[in-house]
Every structure is written in C-alpha cells, then in structure tokens.
Amino acid sequence: MSESETERRRTTEQTTADSNLKWLSGFVSLVGAWIFVSAFVYDTMSTVSYWNNVIVGLAIFLIAGYNYYRMTNGYEVSVGSAGFVALLGLWMILVPFVIADIGAAFWSDVISGIVVAGIAGYNAYAGREMRTGAPTRA
C-alpha cells in the first residue's frame, strides 16, 4: 500500500471517529436535557433531588452541547469537558442512593447517569487517544 493511500485511510478513519464522537456528545446533551426536564415531570421528587436534577441536568446539557458544537465546527473533542460530564453522570448514579429518593425519578436518574457516564467517559477516552495519535478502537 502506498504512503498516500495509508494517509487517506488514516484521515477517513479519523473523520469517522470524529463524527461518532460528535453524535455521541449530542446524544449526551439530550440526556442532560431529559435530566433537567425530569425535575418537572416527576412530582414525587424531594426538593433536594429536584434542584439536583435542574442544576446537574442543565450542566450536562450545556457542557456536552459545547462539545457537540466544537466538533461540528471542526475542532477536536474537549477531553476535559467530556471527563467532567462523565463525573456528573457518576454523580447522577449515586445521588438517588444518597438522597434515598424512591420512585420513578430514582430509576430515571440512575439510568440517565449510567448512559451519561458511559458515553461521556468513552468520549474522553477516545478524544485523548485521538490527540496522542494512537489508533482508536471503535
């Protein structure tokens, strides 16, 4: 295989990986919007859980949306932002157990947190791998 073909293949693989990370960031942003909206949907939430969903959901929506916006405009994924969103996702998994808020909101928060932590963690990992030039495993 010639050098130009190898370079073209690498560019195509990186473009595909960038596109995947972009759409994953957009999806995480939508999950953050759901966490925010869920504060208004579930009326059995405690006040602490309500404000947690409003603040953390809005933060996830904005930060993951920022990553989506960056990648839409041709920039690399912000590894720090994706890592912070993953931490917020872990918090969303933990908070229902800490607050002991039982009900439909409990499972909504846990499942949303798992989705956010998993996808944002992957985005941070893959973005870091792309920055260092290591081959990305998709």
DSSP letter (8 states) at residue 103: S
60 vs 39: CA distance, rounded Å = 14
Which pLDDT belongs to residue 131? 59
Average pLDDT, the chain: 83
pLDDT digit string (tens) for 20-71?
888 899 999 999 999 999 999 988 888 888 999 999 999 999 999 999 998 8
First-to-final CA distance of the chain: 23
DSSP-derived 3-state class of residue 35: helix
- pLDDT surpassing 80 at residue 133: no
Residue 12 confidence (pLDDT)? 43
What separation in angstroms does the CA of 11 have from each of 14, 34, 60, 62, 122?
5, 35, 30, 29, 21
Q: Kindly state the DSSP code that residue 20 receives in the 8-state scheme.
A: H
Please indicate whether residue 97 or residue 132 has the higher confidence score (pLDDT).
97
Confidence of residue 126 (pLDDT cuts 50, 70, 90): confident
Distance of CA 128 to the CA centre of its chain: 15
CA angle 78, 79, 84 (to 5 degrees): 100
Q: Which tens digits make up the pLDDT trace of 80-93? A: 999 999 999 999 99
Q: Which residue is it, tokens 């919007």?
A: 33
